[in-house]
Amino acid sequence: MTQLLTFDGHPLHLEDVTALSRREKNARLSGDSTFLARIEAGAAHVARTLAERGIIYGVTTGYGDSVTTPVPPELVPELGHRLFTYHGVGLGPAFGIEETRAILAARLQSLVQGLSGVSVPMLRQLERLLVDDLLPVIPSEGSVGASGDLTPLSYVAAVLCGEREVFVDGQRRSTAEVFKERGIVPIQLKPKEGLAIMNGTAVMTGLACLAYERAEKVSRLSAHLTAMASAAMGGNPHHFDERLFQAKPHLGQQRAAGWIRDDLAGSERSESRLQDRYSIRCAPHVIGVVEDTLPFLRSLIENELNSANDNPLIDPDTGRIMHGGHFYGGHVALAMDTLKNVIANLADLMDRQMALLVDVRFNHGLPPNLSGATGQRASVSHGLKALQIGASAWTAEALKLTMPASVFSRSTECHNQDKVSLGTIAARDALRVLELTEQVAAAHVVTCRQAVFLKARSGAKLPAPVLAFAEHVGVEPLIEDRMLEPDLRGLIARMRTL
């Protein structure tokens, strides 16, 4: 039975979002009377201000640079519909299922803080999209990440109103048709609701939650693979000595060294060389940067997740209308620019370890390209030669994408949005860097598994944890050359469970 995740204004962890994205949890809007009263109080303050002919940005005025354009009272009900209509300009591939569910969760969590002036029926409609898996088709490109993720979130607002398209049961279909089949009544956005849905950081924040979880997995995997590579090349376990790392006490670095040390338990010190190459010896220092950075990035992402990040905000306790800029995604932009940097460094680390393993000049007695063929068959066997080339290509692309998106702010929308975060571009970049790094990691799994197999076949004694992990990855050793793409794709699909 799927566990329910209650949205009631209390903080969520990013793991809640990732679990909901995979349908391991499903959404439930709280029925608590105090919570619902707080939501309705905000909507009531908006209605009262309108009745008193007060001025609210985006409710009685045009949007953005058009803030100086007053909207006649009789046209106010149209404004929310106009907002999502003219923002229907998204391009690029649509976000995937997990990404879309994460985006919806992030938007719902922001709105249930009770500061956005929305109604309970609108929140229930948003909840239903998650519960029934009616997922808006959201183009991934078109947000500058300030004034919120306006264009992509316009596709959420439109679906709530029965327009555009949804993914349902694996198909892309008209929202209007699906709503009619299921008896779902499209909502009519109340004043402020269109702006509340669209004027926030939900896209970049949802993507950031997914990116963070994947980064944790890749970091831990890279430590396992370092131990395998070291053992296969007869490396020196003393490079990961606990006392050594007490002398430079970065906690994440110490943790990474401990993981590698545990996997190498029982290894013997090499008598032929004092020091291994940097990609082995300094692996805890590379992985440690990731491990020491992740807690800081978590704090940025979860603060954003649990914030009210649209504009204006409505204080339900005082009725005060607060105009500001909480839609600015600078913190998520920093988190994602930083994440893609440290993760690309893991890709580079694994690529360098692979280069050592396949090269007879550096792999300390392993066969060329880690070919498993023997005798005459060895002359026509090329082992992992092409795999190493592929990993090099994926690494190069990951490194190329580390240019920070957040430094490319540009003025837009008649110079109203004249300083923007580009946080959504940073988050998309981070996910692409993670995808490429996972591809490198899959190649390195195949490489390390092959190296351990060949080392064991030669009669060498290897640490039990290394042998156990080699079996756990589920890749058959390469005796004769074979097409490795199926192995790689299978590993990438399993990457989060390794």
Check whether 311 has a pLDDT greater than 70: yes
| Residue 270: predicted pLDDT | 66
What Cα–Cα distance (Å) separates residue 233 from each residue in 215, 324, 354, 388?
27, 58, 11, 17
CATH of 208-316+324-497, one of 1.20.200.10, 3.30.450.20, 1.20.1290.10, 3.30.479.30: 1.20.200.10
Angle (CA) 2-119-299 rounded to 5° is 60
Compute the mean pLDDT over every residue in the chain, rounded to the nearest whole number: 94
Return the beta strands (E) in 302-429 as ranges: 313-314, 321-322
Q: What's the pLDDT band for 159 if we cut at 50, 70, 90?
A: very high
Kindly list the domain boundaries of the chain, sorted by start residue. 3-200, 208-316+324-497
Angle (CA) 111-404-352 rounded to 5° is 120
Check whether 257 has a pLDDT greater than 70: yes
57 catalytic? Reply is: yes
Domains 3-200 and 208-316+324-497 alike in fold = no
**Percent above pLDDT 70 for the chain:** 99
| Residue 498: predicted pLDDT | 66
Alpha carbon distance 441, 64 (integer Å): 45
What Cα–Cα distance (Å) separates residue 345 from each residue in 285, 287, 288, 338, 477?
11, 8, 11, 11, 28
CATH superfamily of 3-200: Fumarase/aspartase (N-terminal domain) (1.10.275.10)
Could you give the count of Cα atoms lying within 13 Å of 30 in the half-sphere of its Cβ? 19
Buried b / exposed e along 382-418 (16+ C-beta atoms within 10 A): ebbeebbebbbebbebbbebbebbbeebeebbeeebe
Which residue shows structure tokens 């792999």?
363
> In a 3-state reduction of DSSP, which class is residue 5?
strand
pLDDT digits (tens, 9 = 90+) for 103-120: 999 999 999 999 999 999
Alpha carbon distance 13, 299 (integer Å): 10
Please pick, among 57, 63, 155, 278, the residue that the annotation labels catalytic: 57
Alpha carbon distance 361, 378 (integer Å): 18
Contacts of 30 (CB under 8 A, 6+ apart): 6, 7, 8, 9, 36, 112
> At what angle are helices 423-457 and 202-232 packed, to 10 degrees?
20
Q: What is the DSSP string of 435-474?
A: HHHHHHHHHHHHHHHHHHHHHHHTT----HHHHHHHHHT-
| Residue 75: predicted pLDDT | 85
Least confident of 57-71, 192-206, 421-435: 57-71
| Residue 40: predicted pLDDT | 95
Q: Which residue has the higher pLDDT, 238 or 52?
A: 238
Continuous H helices in 183-250: 193-198, 202-232, 242-246
Alpha carbon distance 70, 200 (integer Å): 23
The residue-averaged pLDDT of 250-273 equals: 90
pLDDT digits (tens, 9 = 90+) for 28-47: 999 999 999 999 999 998 88
Contacts of 20 (CB under 8 A, 6+ apart): 5, 26, 27, 101, 102, 105, 130
